[in-house]
Structure 1
Amino acid sequence: MLRLSSALFLLWASTLVLLSSARPLSQLGGVKIFVRDEATTYDASDFDVLFQGNQDFRDDVDPQLLKDLAEHGQEPPFLFIGCSDSRVSEGTVFNAEPGTLFTQRNIANRFSREDLNARSAVAYGVEDLHVKHIIVMGHYGCGGVAASVASPPAQPWDEATAAVQQWIAPIRTVYQSSEREEVVALRNANQGQTNVPAPKLHDPGFRALVEENVKNTVQALATDTIVVESYLNATGKSHPFYIHGWVYDIENGQVKDLGVSVGPPGHH
């Protein structure tokens, strides 16, 4: 059952939506955007699990911890770069308290110079928060990595398909160029097929590609100018940071260190 505060919130939200029914919020490219109409009703009980979870969290968390974080700010030791997959929530996987992990997540835990969101998170993490470790964590069964093995959808692409396919294109490059034995075997098995399916969860080549994608992200991070400049500044100081590549097994919850950690000169 929802607590009173949650129920009141839902009542307020539902009332607000009803009052806003069929009124355009904005007009983009000639398309009217509406808050709600009779065809877009939703069941408020959809949110029960979230509000109950929030109440459970509030019952269990140390209130002084929250107060201290609010008053004194955050000093997380870890910057976490992971996948957006709902099965790989870093707070859950590590049973971490608030203030532990500064987080950036996207499809297939990628990092690139073109992604200002990820780069700004890294810049803030290393320069302002002085994190000690950047953890890149992929996971077996990653949908983004699987899609980079499968044949792309037939063109023309709509906007949604184009966005996903452009995002995973660098992983396709890793798949096509990797010399790792398991990935080569997967490539050879798919060679000549007109419509290559996504690999199965336990396919050795798929699992290896997940790991190679993590290593590629570690390499991209370690050579990014933001990190290189921070490395140079960190040398000889008390706050050097390190980059690590890990992978998470969604079947058993285990985290595996891939052994590809890097750090600033003189601090390996």
Structure 2
Amino acid sequence: MNDLQPLIDNNARWADATVARDPEFFKRLQRQQAPEYLWIGCSDSRVPANEIVGMAPGELFVHRNVANVVPHSDVNCQSVIQFAVDALKIKHIMVVGHYGCAGVQMALEGRRSQGVADYWLGHIRDVASRYKPLLEAEPDARHRASLLVELNVLEQAINVSHSAVVQDAWARGQQLSVHGWVYSLGDGRVRQLGLSAEGPEAVKGLREMALERILEARSRHRATAQTARSGA
């Protein structure tokens, strides 16, 4: 038996249902790709980019890797950014992490995969090292992990903002913004981290401003949770 046959069958049903709803759908899709957004997210199977933001094929350009890391040395990710910005003229780049990220958890705990992923997760261990005092101040392991998810998004969004492609686009006046988001597996909601850059001037002080907003939001969340427990 072909173990992949259920996937082929699902595809046939999806294609038929799509044509039934919109007979011109695939004809339009063939003619052009004109997304305004680039989603840089985690490869986690529970985080389907298009579905999360309710977009159809052709409306969202997507790059995914383990723990949504954007190193300047990764030619794969950088080429996606370059194609999205220079060829597709996208207007927004969203770096999207998610709570419960296994890659972030491994980096935080210092666990090893005994493979090449250990080198990749070194980027997140660097983030954890940069913010070690903040992480150690968190009351429990779950809060430390969620904070590192947010800090990783912050640092990767800054990497995007400093990339040659984005800097060149801003220099020539191209409309382009970089954003930091986190997705919650618990309720399916995307949270904006208060991190957006629309030009080189906006990048100055971005880390400090975004970090302040992240910590303020976490403080409000703890206060709300404490009030709820007290009233229970």
- TM norm structure 2: 0.79
Equivalent in the alignment of 2:199: 264
Q: CA deviation at 1:144?
A: 0.6
AA matched with 1:104: H
Choose 1 or 2 for highest CA Rg: 1
Displacement of 1:50: 5.0
Partner of 2:121: 168
Per the alignment, in what secondary structure is the counterpart of residue 149 of structure 1? helix
Separation (CA, whole Å) in 2 of partners of 1:45 and 1:105: 25
The equivalences for 1:53-64 within 5 A come to 53-60=11-18, 62-64=22-24
**Residue 205 of structure 1 pairs with residue 144 of structure 2:** yes
User: Displacement of 1:58 after TM fit?
Assistant: 3.6
- The residue that corresponds to 1:245 in the other structure is 180
CA contact (8 A) 1:66 1:98 kept: no
Equivalent residue, structure 2, for 1:51: 9
What 5-or-longer segments of structure 1 have no aligned partner? 1-42, 154-159, 190-198
Cα 1:267–1:172 shift into 2, 3 Å? closer
CA distance 1:180–1:67, change in 2 (3 Å): farther
Structure 1 residue 212 displacement after superposition: 0.5
Structure 1 match to 2:97 = 138
Q: Distance in 2 between matches of 1:133 and 1:86?
A: 23
Gap change, CA 1:168 and 1:265, over 3 Å in 2 = closer
Q: 1:46 offset after TM fit, Å?
A: 4.3
Aligned residue number for residue 68 of structure 2: 109
Q: Where do 1:71-82 residues align within 5 Å?
A: 71=31, 73-82=32-41
Coordinate RMSD, CA, aligned: 2.2
Letter in 2 for 1:55: R
Conserved 8 A contact 1:247-1:256:
yes
The percentage of aligned residue pairs carrying the same residue is 31
Q: Secondary structure at the match of 2:40?
A: strand
- Report the Cα distance in structure 2 between the residues aligned to 1:118 and 1:217, rounded to whole angstroms: 11
Q: Where does structure 1 differ by over 4 angstroms across 4 or more consecutive aligned residues?
A: 265-268
CA distance in 2, matches of 1:167, 1:58: 40
The answer to whether the Cα contact below 8 Å between 1:240 and 1:267 also exists between their aligned partners in 2 is: no
Any idea what the Cα deviations from partners look like across 1:142-161, whole Å, max 9, x if unmatched?
011001011333xxxxxx73
Check 1:167–1:100 CA distance in 2 against 1; reply closer, same or farther (3 A cut). same
> Alignment partner for residue 255 of structure 1, among 190, 205, 211?
190
Return the alpha-carbon distance in structure 1 between the equivalents of residues 156 and 75 of structure 2: 15
Instruction: Give the length in aligned residue pairs.
Output: 201
More helix by share: 2
Task: Determine the structure 1 residue equivalent to 2:154.
Answer: 215
